């Protein structure tokens, strides 16, 4: 079971990378999607305040975020590419 869970997690990361997100820009939409306080989760992942500032700025520039919130497009782009594809990729024969 652990192997399957780890494989799914790795696939989720691969799909996010294919969508153009790096590590820090994966954590920001994750915490905002869930509804956590901005920078509360991502700061526990070891990202510096400067790295988080840069991630927020780039996500805003790319249309994923407006200030500390995901845009409608950002929500669709974050949810659709990763969770929507990950299960299919994990269980393809």
In the chain, domain spans: 2-91
On the question of pLDDT at 93 being above 60, the answer is no
Whether the Cβ atoms of residue 71 and residue 63 lie closer than 8 Å to each other: yes
Distance CA 26, CA 10 (A): 13
Full-model pTM: 0.72
Residue 61 is predicted with a pLDDT of 95
Q: Return the higher-pLDDT residue of 68 and 83.
A: 68
Distance CA 60, CA 54 (A): 10
Residue 89 is predicted with a pLDDT of 43
Q: Concatenate the DSSP letters of all residues of 2-69 into one string.
A: HHHHHHHHHHHHHHHHHTT--HHHHHHHHHHHHTPPTTTTGGGGT--HHHHHHHHHHHHHTTSEETTE
Residue 17 is predicted with a pLDDT of 79
């Amino acid at each position: 079971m652990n192997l399957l869970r780890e494989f799914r997690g790795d696939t989720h990361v691969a799909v996010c990378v294919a969508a153009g997100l790096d590590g820090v820009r994966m954590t920001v939409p994750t915490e905002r999607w869930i509804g956590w306080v901005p920078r509360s989760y991502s700061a526990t992942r070891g990202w510096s305040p400067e790295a988080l500032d840069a991630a927020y700025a780039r996500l805003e520039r790319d249309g994923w975020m407006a200030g500390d919130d995901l845009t409608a497009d950002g929500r669709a782009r974050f949810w659709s590419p990763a969770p929507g594809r990950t299960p299919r990729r994990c269980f393809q024969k």
